[in-house]
């Protein structure tokens, strides 16, 4: 197919992509498709550069580590007697729920 039969927007998009090597790399690495980029560009007039999955994974692992460290700090601040009291309260609440359910089942 010769170039003069192509839609003018396709030529504009090719020029747009050729000026943005980071977008070309996302296509080469198969992180995004040209079709998706074209639709975004055609609709919004611009294509956002997405973060690489490696960077996103690094950030999420840091967040998970922070969360785990916070949880471990909180757990280490409790003593055994507090844990025992909490477990007894939970056990008591569960027994009450069991009794209510059994009385509802008999009706």
Q: Give the count of beta carbons closer than 10 Å to the beta carbon of residue 50.
A: 14
> pTM for the complete prediction?
0.42
pLDDT of res. 52: 56
User: What is the length of the chain?
Assistant: 107
> What does the pLDDT look like over 33-76, one tens digit per residue?
889 888 889 888 888 776 655 555 666 666 777 878 887 887 77
Rounded CA-CA distance 71/88 in Å is 22
**For position 87, what pLDDT does the model report?**
92
């Amino acid at each position: 197919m010769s170039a003069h039969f192509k839609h003018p927007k396709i030529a504009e998009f090719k020029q747009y992509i050729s000026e943005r090597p980071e977008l070309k790399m996302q296509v080469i690495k198969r992180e995004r498709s040209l079709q998706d980029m074209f639709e975004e560009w055609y609709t919004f007039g611009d294509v956002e550069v997405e973060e690489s999955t490696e960077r996103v994974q690094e950030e999420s692992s840091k967040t998970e580590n922070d969360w785990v460290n916070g949880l471990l700090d909180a757990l280490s601040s409790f003593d055994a007697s507090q844990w025992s009291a909490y477990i007894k309260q939970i056990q008591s609440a569960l027994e009450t729920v069991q009794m209510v359910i059994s009385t509802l089942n008999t009706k």
